[in-house]
A and B are shown apart, each in its own frame.
Chain A
Amino acid sequence: MKRPASQPGSGFRGSCFGWSNGTVAIELRDVTKRFGQKVAVDGLSLQVGRGEIFAFLGPNGAGKTTTIKLVAGLLRPDSGLVRVSGHDTSRDGRLAKAELAYVPDQPFLYDKLTGREFLGFVAEMYRVPPGVAKERTDELVRQFDMGDFLDQLTEGYSHGMKQRTVLAAALLHEPQVLLIDEPMVGLDPKTVRLVKNMFVELARSGRSVFMSTHTLEVAEAVADRIGIIHHGRLIAAGTLSELRRRGVEQASLEEIFLTLTAGHDDPQAETVPA
C-alpha cells in the first residue's frame, strides 16, 4: 500500500516547503484564524505537493477542521495566505474551488434526493459531460458497492452509506485536490481498504489528498507526509521516519503522536520547527 517516497508523482521532498510553484497543490503561509478570543489556527505554514497524500493529525479541537475549511475557502484567514493550485482562496475563490473537492466530517446530502439524483446534480454542478458522468457514476457505484441503495432517498441512509455517496460525489469530477475530514468514520473494513487504494491511485495520477484523521493506522499506511497540529500550531511535519527522529526511534505513529502532543500541552509553548 505504502508508496516509496521517491516514486515519480509522489512529489515528496521531505519538508514543509521546497516545491517549485508548479508542483504546489496547497499552500498555507503564516495563516492565523481566531474565533473570538480563541486562536484556532496560529501562524500555520504548510505546503502540500501535487501527487502527495498529506495526513493531518491532532487532538480534538487542535485546529484540523478549521485548517481544512480554510483551504476549502469556507473560512477566511484573519491573517496569512491560503492558495490552492496557485489561486488565493480569498480572492480567486471560484478558481480554487473548481480545482478541489471537499468532504466534511458530517457529510451533506439533500434528504429528498436519491443518491443517483445527487450524483447527477454534482456532475452538472462541475460541468462533467453527460456521457462521462454516466460512465464515472457507474464506475464509482460499482467500486463503492452502492447499487443496492442508490435509488433510495438519502434521508434513509446509514452514516456509512452517506459517506460512500459523498466520497463518490467528490471523486466524480476528478478534482486536483481532495480535502477530506475524517474519511474513514463509519466505513466498513472493505470500504476503508477501497478508500485507501483510491487515495493512492489519486496521488499516482498527480492529484493531492489532504486529510485529517484520528485513524493513525490509515495515516501510517497511505500518507506521504504527516503533520501534527496542536493548539492551532503545526508542531511537527514530515515523513514517518522524520517524525521518528524527532520522537522515539522505532516507535509507532501512535507513540510519536502521544510523545509530541504531550510535550505541547501549554498552548504558549514554543513551536518545534516543522
Chain B
Amino acid sequence: MAGATEMVAEPGIGLLIRVKIKALANRADQALAEAPLKVIAIAVFVLFIWVSLYLLFRSIFFVLKQQALASIIAVPYVFGVFFIALMVMLMLSNAVLIYGGLFRQKESAYLLSSPARPEHIVAIKYFESLFFSSWALLLVGVPLMWAMADLQFVPWHFYPFFLLLFVLFVAIPGAWGLLTAWFVAMFLPRSLRRGLMVGGIVAGAGGIWWLMTAWQHSPADSAVWLKQFLAELRFVRSALLPSAWVTAGVTAAVENQPGRALFYLFIVFANAVFFSWLAVMLTSSTLGLAYSRASGAGGRHLRSRTWASALLTRVMFFYVPGRLRSIIRKDVRTFLRDPTQWAQMLILFGLLAIYTVNIPTIRLDFATPKWQLLISFLNMTAVSLILATFTSRFVFPMISLETDTMWLVGLLPVRMSRIVATKFIFALTVSLLAAVSVTLLSCRTLQVGWLWTLVKLSVAVACCIGLSGLAVGIGARLPVFGQRNTARIASGFGGTVNLILSVLFVTVVSTGFGWISLRAFQFGYDRQLDVRTIGIVVAILLFAVGVAAAALAVGARHLKRREF
C-alpha cells in the first residue's frame, strides 16, 4: 500500500513505444538472420509493384494530359474519387484493426491489468493501427503522386509536401475508425454487430450500383455525357470532406501555388490533431467499461443452427465418403462462422457480379465479336485473379490451421493424402460455386452462344482446379506451425510462394484463353469450334489438373513425413 502512490506515477507512453520498436527491430534482425532471401524477395516485389504502378499511373495521366480540356475538368475528380475511396477503406480497416487490437488481443488484457494509463494504451494501439493500415496508401499513393509530378514538372518541394499531407490525412479516417471500434464495443451486442456488417455490405453494394446507374443514365459518349457524369460525382468535391482538402492541396501544389497548398495542409493537420485527440480521449475515458462489454460478447449457442451446415455439407459434398465429409463439415462451419472469409468472398464476387450485370451500360457495341471477346477475356482474367486472391488468403492457411489439431486429425485412420484431398475438394467446391456463377452471368449478359459459354466455363473450372490445388498443396508443403491468424499465415514465406505461383498460373491460363479469343476474332466467332480451339481448352484443363496434382502430391508427401 505504501508504495502505491509511487507506483501509480505512470510509466508513460514512451515505454510502450520503445517496446514496440524493440519488437520490430528484433523481428527485422530475425528475418535478416533466418531468411535473408525472403527479405530480398519482398523488397524486390515492393519495388516491382511500385514501378508497375508508377508506369500505369503515368500512362493514365499521359492520356488525360493529351485530352487537355478534359483533364482540366477530370483530374480533380479522379483525385477526389481516389481519396474518398481511400478515406472509407482506411476508416474501415482501422476500425477492424483497432477493435481486434484493443478489445480482443491478450496484450490489451495485460496492459489493462498494469498501471499503464488508458490513454496511453489507446494511443499506442491507434498508432500501431495507423502504421499497419497506411502502408497500402504509401504503396499506391507514392507512385501515383510521383507519376503526376513527373508529367507536370513540379518543383522538388512537392515531394515532401505530399508525403506530409498523406501522413496527416491518414490520421483523420484512422481516428474515425477508432471511434467506430469504440462505439461497437460499447453499444453494439454481437447480434446487432452481425446485422450491421451485413447492412454495411448491402450499403456498399448499393453505392456501387448507384455509381453504375449514374454512368448508365448519362447520354451517349460526348461532352454532355462527361458533364452529366461529373455532375453525379459532385459530392466528392464537397468542402467538408477531408479527401477534398487533400485533393485541393495536391492540385495547388501541382499548379505551383505554395500558399494555397500550405493552407490545405494546415486544414488537414488541424483536423488530424483534433479528431485524433477526440478519439483517443473519448475511448480511453471508458476503456475499462468498453473492454468489459466487448469481453462479454462471446458464447453464442449455435446448437439450433448446426443442422443447416450439416445439411449444406451433405448436399454439396454428397460424393465424399462419410468420414472425410465430417472433416469438410468442420471446414464449412468454420467458413460460415468466420465473417472475414465469407464477407470477403461475397464482396469480391458481388462486385464482379454487379460489374457484369452493368456491362451493357458501357457505350460499346457488344454485337461485334471484337468487344464481346475483349470483355470476356477481361472478365475471365478478373475472375481468375480474384480467385487467386481468395485461395491465397483463405485456402492456403487451411493446412497450417490444422497443424494444431494434428493430435486428432493426424491420428485418424485415414491416409494424410486423403486429408489433403478433402481440403482440396472443399476449396474447389466453394471456388467453383463463385467462379461458375459469375462466368455464367457474364456469358448471359454478353449473350454468348452455348458453345462459347462451355469454353469459358471450362477455363473457369481450370482456374478453380489449379488455384485450389496450388493453395492446398503449397499450404501442406510450407505450413506455418502454431499460428492461428490466417492473415499472418498467408503473408508468410509459404503464402508468398503460393501467391507468386498462383499469379504465374493465372498468367499461363490467361495467355491460353487470350490465344483462343484472338483466334476467334481472326477466324470468326460465330462458327463452330475448330479442333485447335478445343485442343487449347483441353490443354488448359490438363495443365490445371497437372499443376494441382503435382502440388497436392508434394504437399501430401511432405505432411506424411512430417513430425508433429
Contacts and interface: CB of A to CB of B under 8 A. Distances in A.
Contacts of A98: 3-4, 7-8, 115
Q: Give the interface SS of chain B, mostly helix, strand, loop or mixed.
A: helix
Contacts of A106: 106
A75 B292 contact: yes
A29 interface: no
A73 B112 contact: yes
B113 A102 contact: yes
A272 B341 CA distance: 48
Nearest to A206: B1
B79 interface: no
Contact of B107 (A75, A94, A110, A127): A110
Interface in A33-69: 33-36, 38, 69
B115 A94 contact: yes
A113 B19 contact: yes
A8 to B, nearest CB: 18
Contacts of A176: 1, 4
Most central of A73, A106, A124, A127 by chain B CB within 10 Å? A127
A113 B113 contact: no
Interface in B336-373: none
B26 interface: yes
Contact of A104 (B15, B106, B116, B295): B106
Given A36-B299, A125-B11, A127-B9, A97 B288 contact: no
Contacts of A69: 295
A74 B109 contact: yes
Interface string B295-312: 111110000000000000
Nearest to A128: B7
B8 A94 contact: yes
Interface string A121-133: 1001111000000
A36 B4 CA distance: 35
B8 A95 contact: yes
Interface string A68-107: 0100111110000000010000100111011110101010
A5 B497 CA distance: 64
Contacts of B292: 74-76
Contact of A126 (B7, B19, B289): B7
B530 interface: no
Interface residues of B, number: 37
A213 B167 CA distance: 49
A112 B109 contact: no
A93 B1 CA distance: 14
Contact of B23 (A33, A73, A113): A113
Given A117-B22, A126-B114, A104 B11 contact: no
A95 B6 CA distance: 10
Interface in A130-185: 153, 173, 176
A230 B115 CA distance: 32
A127 B11 contact: yes
A100 B113 CA distance: 8
Given A85-B1, A99-B4, A124-B11, A112 B26 contact: yes
B27 interface: yes
A251 B60 CA distance: 84
Contacts of A125: 11, 15, 114-116
A110 B21 CA distance: 12
Contact of A76 (B11, B24, B106, B289): B289
Nearest to A169: B110
Contacts of B83: none
Interface string A226-251: 00000000000000000000000000
Nearest to B289: A76
Contacts of A108: 106-107, 109-110
Given A74-B292, A94-B115, A153 B30 contact: yes
Most central of B30, B295, B298 by chain A CB within 10 Å? B295
Contacts of B107: 108, 110
A73 B7 CA distance: 17
Given A75-B296, A108-B106, A173-B7, A90 B22 contact: no
B6 A35 contact: no
Nearest to B107: A108
Contact of B15 (A90, A124, A173): A124
Contact of B22 (A34, A75, A93, A113): A113
Contacts of B22: 113, 117
Interface in B366-385: none
A124 B18 CA distance: 11
B335 to A, nearest CB: 25
Given A110-B107, A113-B26, A117-B19, 7 more contacts: A74-B295, A90-B288, A104-B106, A104-B109, A112-B26, A125-B11, A173-B7
Interface of B: 1, 3-4, 6-11, 15, 19, 22-24, 26-27, 30, 106-107, 109-110, 112-117, 189, 288-289, 291-292, 295-299
26 contacts: A35-B296, A35-B297, A38-B299, A69-B295, A73-B288, A74-B288, A74-B292, A75-B295, A95-B8, A98-B3, A98-B4, A98-B115, A100-B113, A104-B110, A110-B19, A110-B107, A111-B23, A112-B27, A113-B19, A121-B15, A124-B15, A126-B7, A127-B7, A127-B9, A153-B30, A176-B1
7 shortest interchain CB distances as A-B pairs: A112-B23, A108-B106, A76-B292, A98-B7, A102-B113, A108-B110, A35-B296
